[in-house]
Amino acid sequence: MPAAGQSTFDGNPYTSPPITTPYRPGDPDFNGRSLVDSQVNPPDPGSMVTANLLNGEAAEIIALRRLIHSATVSAKYVAGSPLVDSFAAGPSSFHAQVPTAQFSIARTGGGAAAGDVTITWPANSLPPNLTKPHATPNGVVPCMIAVDYVTNGVRVVTQDKNGNGIDIPFTVNIR
């Protein structure tokens, strides 16, 4: 496990060599989920923590960490320019930061004039991606939205029902 009070979102200084980038926990972080109760002084399962309980909790944490988002980013447009409106992210380095300190947003070079933006973040600041990102429009404008990973970021394309690029606010979940 990482240092006391630290999550795997912040790496693990106790590995050899130390892991300095965010990662998803696995069996090695929980002693291989192989804790055993003392045979001399076994715990009372009704009132004490048991090895089976801790091994089960470890398995649950590992499974849940594969499912939760590493970051969620909302974007909007002000006077025709895209900007990161808000975000939530696991790594401690993202906390107490203004959105532009961790995420950059810009129109995609060579993309459509409207409805085509790329959001990027610093290399190695989020765990490796497990699944495709997911984006949703924020609002009631009927539209289509597509999102995919690019190097250290995501590209989001929004279109109206006729396939024309349209600037609409959206939220993207990054796994």
Higher pLDDT, 136 or 127: 136
Closest CA to 64 of 52, 56, 75: 56
- pLDDT tens figures, 29-48: 777 788 899 999 999 989 99
Q: What confidence category does residue 12 fall into, taking pLDDT thresholds of 50, 70 and 90?
A: confident
Quote the pTM value.
0.79
Please list, in sequence order, all residues whose beta carbon lies within 8 angstroms of the beta carbon of residue 91, skipping any fewer than 6 positions away: 9, 10, 22, 70, 125, 126
- Which helix H or strand E contains 100, and what residues bound it? helix 99-102
Residue with tokens 């004490």: 48
pLDDT the model gives residue 147: 96
- pLDDT tens figures, 136-150: 999 878 899 999 999
The residue extents of the domains of the chain are: 8-67, 71-174
pLDDT the model gives residue 22: 83
**Whole-angstrom distance, CA of residue 11 vs CA of residue 21:** 5
